[in-house]
A and B are shown apart, each in its own frame.
Chain A
Amino acid sequence: MSPFHRSSNDDTRVRKLFDVLHIDPVLLCLLLAVCALGLTVLYSASGHSIAMVINQAERLLIGLVVMTAAAQAPPEIYRSAAPWFYGFALLLCALTLVLGDHAKGAQRWLDLGVLRFQPSELMKLAMPIMVAAFLHLFTLPPRWHAVVLTLMLIGLPTVVVMVQPDLGTSLLIVAAGGFALYLGGLRWQYIFGALAAIGAAAPILWARLHDYQRQRILTLFDPESDPLGTGYHIAQSKIAIGSGGVFGKGWLEGTQAKLDFLPESHTDFIFAVFAEELGLIGICVLLTLYLAIVGRGLYIAARAQDSFQRLLAGSLAMTFFVYVFINMGMVIGLLPVVGVPLPLMSYGGTSMVSLLAGFGLLMSIHTHRKLLAS
């Protein structure tokens, strides 16, 4: 920094401003960087639609406002409000089943007149808060009856979301709750036991999946078998990514998205457009940013002052990573296409706002630390 332009006094003042606003500048910068990349690629992926970029930028602004607002409240408020929040989100999810709009064969949306949103997004936030608040009541690691109760807290909304059916979101909800439980000190033997149980239960789960979900999993393993049907998404997205190469075709030069070969190019498959145009190098930059966000989240979690805050912050950070991993994994053909957007980049309002609200929680945890009594 040049001493001619900025004095250490200025520096302090800026830091003070962030302190007053309860904003973590590091996290904010990382988030804004990813969002900027997102808007840039969205312009290309949407077929040069300024309107869509502006629309998305508006949602980003709303998200930032929500994030800032969420950061103002001290973590204790969230802890005490956790059951109410959780109950409210669960109620909305259940309502969706009855009143929800149909979109693509699933009831995910709730129309509140002014805004149409997915209550399951709310649950993504409510879940880690609830689990963290619940585990906060016990000495950690939790005993088995606390674990069972936690599993019930996780299981109920998961089932409700899964039957909507929204496999992707239910996975993220399980992940959010599960991570809190994991950080709470769930014994390793339980974790491995659960993994083994999932392995054993897989055939049973398989039988309960919807046809289109099964088809998605099947085509994952052999996308070329049905290149014009279900495998089309994966096949075209792999072509887009692979043809990008190390350096990419250049911004706005990706043919797969521009010529409409890539379906959902501005939403779930925006990563393929990114990979096609900016190549492996661009991806490495993006991955670094994402990992930095996760890292910052875990750093905040490590420095958090009570178990509620630690569990919540750690769970939020790790869920964010899972979010990224599932989306990229499905776009590059590593995981089934489950309909998880790429956080902060995919076009869509609800996930943008709920994600940033989550980061607001992280900031709240980070900026409301009290000095420990010496």
Chain B
Amino acid sequence: MDNLKNLVREKHMYMTRIGVAVLVCLSMTSLLVYRLIGLQVIDREYYATRAEENRMRLSAVPPVRGLVTDRNGVLLAQNTPAFVLEVVPEQVENMDTLLRALRPVLNLDDVEIARFKDRVGKTPRYRSVPLRGNLTMEQVARFQLNRFDFEGADVTATLTRSYPLGSAAAHVVGYVGGITEEEFKKIEAAAYQGLTQIGKIGVEKSHENELRGTPGAKIVEANAYGRPLRELEYRQGAPGKNLVLSLDAKVQMAAEKALAGLDGAVVAIDPRNGEVIALVSKPGFDPQPFVAGIDRTTYKALLDDRKRPLYNRALQGAYPPGSTVKPFMALAGLEYETLQGGHGEYCSGSMSLPHSTRKYRCWKRSGHGWLDMAGGVIQSCDIYFYEVAQALGIDRIHTFLSLFGLGHPTDVDLPLEKSGLLPSREWKMRTRKEAWFPGETLNIGIGQGYMTTTPMQLAQITARMAMRGKGFKPHVVHAMQDTLTGATTLVPPEALPAIPHRHAQDWETVINAMVEVTASQRGTAYRVFKDAPYRVAAKTGTAQVAGMSQDELRARKLTETPFHLRDHALFIAFAPAEDPKIAVAVIAEHAGHGGSAAAPVARQVMDQYLLGQILYNLPADPGAGAPVAAGVPAAPVELIGSPGSASDDEE
């Protein structure tokens, strides 16, 4: 009985325990469900987003860079296919067998193979690894022929930038190269998704944003190891815009050719709208090696070259303008009415300032005799312009030449432009802590002394002279073309404030004198232009290179002077004088006289532009559209006598 009682009690206790256990189980299950509701209902959104973030990978689709052409559609920068042999290690059954098979096809060497294997080791196995870039068409063909023996290897085409005109337009077009670390810090990473290159100089740099385009994106589903499995979404990017430069490739080539053997620069501008027709800096360089990554030796050779081929003389070279400044001095004299009337000035071959024994000489030691303003310009008399400058004084010279933009960059749409130097009292006090000396004004009168200008500035002031004070900001980009729609947007010329002048006829007076420089037998550029079928207003210049005294230089013949001390030859001109279409500035370093060394260069540029003479054939380019003829075809013109044959009929 007692035992049975015990059993009943035990059973009862047991059932209680089971009941408690059931309650505990249910409450623990509730805890689980409570937690699951938190995850799956309340925070579902958050976790769903996290799951999406996990699986989605953005992979950039780089845009195709815009083309650069000249005004006639001649390609200056293009994208050419390059063939790369790539290997996907995952798909290769036996890497050594594959490499052995590929070896004779590509002429692989051990170093290349070792480097390739190193890269393979560092890349996920599903990603392709380049084995050899820049395959020749023959290698591609040989590969394709036996492609079934090369499981896992494939030839892919990529686009590389190429420059059909090579060195001829390198300083304008520039080049692209790998993005450096400093550049990487500055750029907006999103705009360069998938891109490895960036414009380094020239238009490639200044119009990088337009040329580059907008990267597209592929959204792919990827697993935890980053392997893309399928494409979920394709986000369209936009290819870069095509640039149509105002440059005329034929004129550019003509200028390049005309400067052959010389160092210097040519800038030709259309004065009616500021468009740059040609811009040459010599010596040039081949931009192509920079694209693929220039090797150390080539780059060092370019950097160490004493003639500095990478330096863009047209924009960065600051040269004394020499006598090319004289027409502008004459104009200032007319404006401020400081020119002597009557017989004008008398040139005895030298002069000196009051209270000074220092003699200021004319380049013509025997003197020019009595000269008026026109005579001074035509014969480039130094004495005449010493007097003009003295009468004007440095302050008025500075004010007047500032109106032409000297002392400031022209703001052409190219990088790295220098401002040159237009000195003033204030400038000298600031930089030299010295007062201005009257004798320094005289030197400015003939474009020497502190004064420097860039060839771009010289071309620009010539263009403004041609336009009788009106002017436009120089620019090289004529239009931009949207590659998708084909719509072309012109870059409108940007007018500059006109140079005010009290007497409008003063412009004609000076321009007439400049025309006489080429038309009058006494003119310093007569020989070069005597047979030109258009009227040219011009001025020659010969700029001294610092280091030798005037007297010393005068005493020696050009050929006896050490090369690096020889004068720079300068020439500015515009034509046709009555209806200017082109303004040119030429500088030939250490080439001697402007009339003999620089003027022929300008003549050839103008002939090419104005007469459309086929002086130089462009490299054959199948990709270019039919070029529209520039200028009017004209009767063949006798070629100009070679530079160097000039006599001492100048300065």
Q: A321's closest neighbor in chain B, by CB?
A: B25
Residue pairs across A and B with CB atoms within 8 Å: the count is: 125
- Does B43 lie within 8 Å of A242, measured CB to CB? yes
List chain B residues, Cβ under 8 A from A325.
28-29, 32
- Does A328 lie within 8 Å of B51, measured CB to CB? no
Q: Could you tell me which residues of chain B, from 1 to 56, have a CB within 8 Å of some CB in chain A?
A: 6, 10, 13-15, 17-18, 21-22, 25-26, 28-29, 31-33, 35-37, 39-41, 43-44, 46-48, 50-52, 54-55
Q: Could you tell me which residues of chain A, from 92 to 146, have a CB within 8 Å of some CB in chain B?
A: 139-141
Q: Bound state CA distance, A242 and B14, in angstroms?
A: 40
Contact A242 B28, CB 8 Å, known A140-B10, A332-B39: no
Q: How big is the B interface, by class? A: 35 or more
Q: A302's closest neighbor in chain B, by CB?
A: B18
List chain A residues, Cβ under 8 A from B28.
321, 325
B211-228 Cβ-contact flags toward A at 8 Å (1 or 0): 000000000011111000
B314-332 Cβ-contact flags toward A at 8 Å (1 or 0): 0000000000000000000
Q: Does B114 sit at the interface, judged by CB under 8 A? A: no
List chain A residues, Cβ under 8 A from B22.
295, 298
Q: Bound state CA distance, A241 and B36, in angstroms?
A: 8
Q: Bound state CA distance, A140 and B222, in angstroms?
A: 61
Q: Bound state CA distance, A139 and B29, in angstroms?
A: 33
- Does B41 lie within 8 Å of A246, measured CB to CB? yes
- Does A298 lie within 8 Å of B21, measured CB to CB? yes
Q: Does B555 sit at the interface, judged by CB under 8 A? A: no
Q: Bound state CA distance, A147 and B386, in angstroms?
A: 124
- Does B36 lie within 8 Å of A283, measured CB to CB? yes
Which one, B17, B21, B29, B40, contacts A291 given CB within 8 A?
Answer: B29
Q: B28's closest neighbor in chain A, by CB?
A: A325
Q: Does B229 sit at the interface, judged by CB under 8 A? A: yes
Q: For the complex formed, measure the closest distance between the CB of A238 and the CB atoms of chain B, giving whole angstroms.
A: 6
Q: Could you tell me which residues of chain A, from 264 to 286, have a CB within 8 Å of some CB in chain B?
A: 275-276, 279-280, 283-284
Q: Could you tell me which residues of chain B, from 43 to 73, have a CB within 8 Å of some CB in chain A?
A: 43-44, 46-48, 50-52, 54-55
Helix, strand, loop or mixed for chain A's interface? helix
Q: For the complex formed, measure the closest distance between the CB of A254 and the CB atoms of chain B, giving whole angstroms.
A: 9
Q: For the complex formed, measure the closest distance between the CB of A302 and the CB atoms of chain B, giving whole angstroms.
A: 6
Q: For the complex formed, measure the closest distance between the CB of B17 and the CB atoms of chain A, giving whole angstroms.
A: 5
Which one, B15, B25, B31, B51, contacts A256 given CB within 8 A?
Answer: B51
Contact A275 B40, CB 8 Å, known A259-B229, A260-B224, A329-B32: yes
- Does A291 lie within 8 Å of B25, measured CB to CB? yes
10 closest residue pairs by CB, A with B: A242-B47, A243-B51, A259-B223, A260-B224, A242-B39, A243-B48, A243-B47, A245-B44, A239-B50, A261-B224
| CB<8 Å pairs between A and B, sample of 21 | A140-B10, A185-B13, A241-B39, A243-B50, A245-B40, A245-B41, A255-B54, A258-B223, A259-B54, A259-B221, A261-B51, A261-B55, A275-B36, A276-B51, A279-B40, A287-B29, A298-B18, A321-B28, A325-B32, A334-B32, A334-B35
Known: A246-B41, A314-B18. 11 other contacts (CB 8 A): A185-B10, A185-B13, A236-B54, A238-B39, A241-B36, A261-B223, A287-B33, A302-B14, A328-B32, A329-B32, A332-B32
